[in-house]
């Protein structure tokens, strides 16, 4: 019951934060116009409370993450859990971008059109709200485990290995989406490369975060003990299949870059190759597990 009360309390605080943020965004959007040379002290205070509200929402993100990780060993729908972990981590990361956007708006509104930044803030806020509501429902539906996260980490090694590779597969597919988006958006080459870097980083962050978590989980073991015999075999076969399948892509990228046949910079080929290999490797391991 204690966990349920904590979950309910944090959820209500987050909802209040979302409501405050929506009202604050609409208000600031209407008053931060080029004719206003600088924000008033009242507006600055409002902005500071917006950042505090985002901090509270971030705390609930961490609580959801803790509960989801703790319940993984007893979960049945691992794919759904892995997918939710990916978007939960992305939502948490983009909370930081909300703070950056607010700061940029405060600096740029007298000189530039900041409609795009406001639209991004509203989209991100709706995204965060969706993630929080789904997380609340997941926690409410799950039986509360009496074990803590560190005890859960010691249980069923296969679940954590499977989750790691499922997240890798999802992030690999997100990387393809990032690759396509960066190609379709019409921008000068130097901005397009920067956009690719941003999208690719966002796509890779959940996998990087979970593999860091994996290292932390196994920190007291020697590397040879990180995987059991079956997992080692699966990873070896997956690595071989990935090498064979990705070899043509590597050859094509090398040839076309050298001959300048396809107008793609090396950074695009690098991103495509990385996410392609990550997808193939992770999907192969997942289906063999």
For residue 285, the Cα-to-chain-centroid distance in whole angstroms is 22
pLDDT given at position 1? 58
User: Domain check: are 101 and 12 in the same one?
Assistant: yes
User: Domain check: are 9 and 137 in the same one?
Assistant: yes
User: Domain check: are 97 and 173 in the same one?
Assistant: no
User: Domain check: are 8 and 136 in the same one?
Assistant: yes
Mark which of 106, 129, 147 sits at the end of a domain: 147
* Domain containing residue 257: 156-289
Q: Which two tokens stand for residue 287?
A: 């289906």
Domain count, the chain: 2
Close Cβ partners of 151 (under 8 Å, ≥ 6 residues apart): none
Mark which of 130, 147, 164 sits at the end of a domain: 147
Name the nearest CA neighbour of 272 among 241, 248, 249: 249
Q: What gap in Å lies between CA 187 and CA 89, rounded to an integer? A: 28
pLDDT given at position 257? 58
User: Domain check: are 68 and 189 in the same one?
Assistant: no
User: Domain check: are 233 and 160 in the same one?
Assistant: yes
Q: What gap in Å lies between CA 31 and CA 33, rounded to an integer? A: 6
Q: Which two tokens stand for residue 53?
A: 């509200």
Q: Which residues of the chain register pLDDT less than 50?
A: none
User: Domain check: are 163 and 282 in the same one?
Assistant: yes
Residues 169-217 pLDDT 10s: 999 888 888 878 777 776 666 666 777 777 788 888 888 888 888 787 7
User: Domain check: are 111 and 164 in the same one?
Assistant: no
Mark which of 88, 114, 147 sits at the end of a domain: 147
User: Which of helix, strand or coil describes residue 263?
Assistant: coil
pLDDT given at position 156? 58
Q: Label residues 108-143 b or e (16+ Cβ within 10 Å = b).
A: ebeeeebeebbebbeebbeebbebbeebbebbeeee
User: Domain check: are 165 and 143 in the same one?
Assistant: no
Residues 10-31 pLDDT 10s: 999 999 999 999 999 998 888 8
């Amino acid at each position: 019951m204690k966990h349920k009360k904590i979950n309910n309390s944090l959820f209500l605080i987050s909802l209040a934060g979302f409501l405050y943020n929506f009202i604050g965004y609409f208000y600031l959007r209407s008053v931060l116009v080029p004719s206003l040379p600088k924000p008033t002290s009242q507006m600055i205070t409002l902005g500071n409370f917006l950042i505090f509200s985002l901090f509270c929402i971030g705390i609930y993100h961490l609580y959801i993450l803790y509960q989801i990780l703790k319940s993984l060993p007893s979960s049945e729908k691992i794919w759904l859990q892995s997918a939710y972990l990916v978007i939960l981590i992305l939502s948490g990361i983009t909370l930081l971008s909300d703070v950056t956007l607010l700061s940029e708006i405060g600096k740029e509104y007298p000189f530039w059109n900041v409609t795009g930044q406001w639209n991004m803030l509203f989209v991100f806020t709706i995204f965060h709200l969706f993630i929080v509501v789904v997380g609340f429902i997941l926690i409410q539906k799950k039986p509360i485990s009496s074990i803590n996260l560190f005890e859960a980490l010691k249980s069923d090694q296969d679940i954590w290995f499977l989750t790691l590779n499922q997240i890798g597969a999802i992030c690999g597919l997100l990387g393809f989406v990032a690759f396509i988006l960066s190609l379709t958006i019409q921008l000068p080459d130097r901005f397009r490369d920067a956009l690719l870097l941003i999208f690719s980083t966002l796509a890779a962050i959940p996998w990087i975060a979970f593999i860091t978590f994996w290292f932390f989980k196994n920190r007291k073991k020697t590397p040879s003990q990180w995987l059991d015999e079956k997992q080692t075999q699966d990873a070896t076969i997956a690595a071989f299949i990935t090498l064979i399948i990705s070899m043509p892509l590597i050859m094509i990228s090398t040839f076309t870059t050298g001959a300048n046949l396809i107008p793609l910079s090396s950074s695009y080929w690098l991103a495509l190759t990385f996410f392609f290999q990550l997808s193939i490797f992770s999907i192969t391991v997942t289906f063999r597990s």
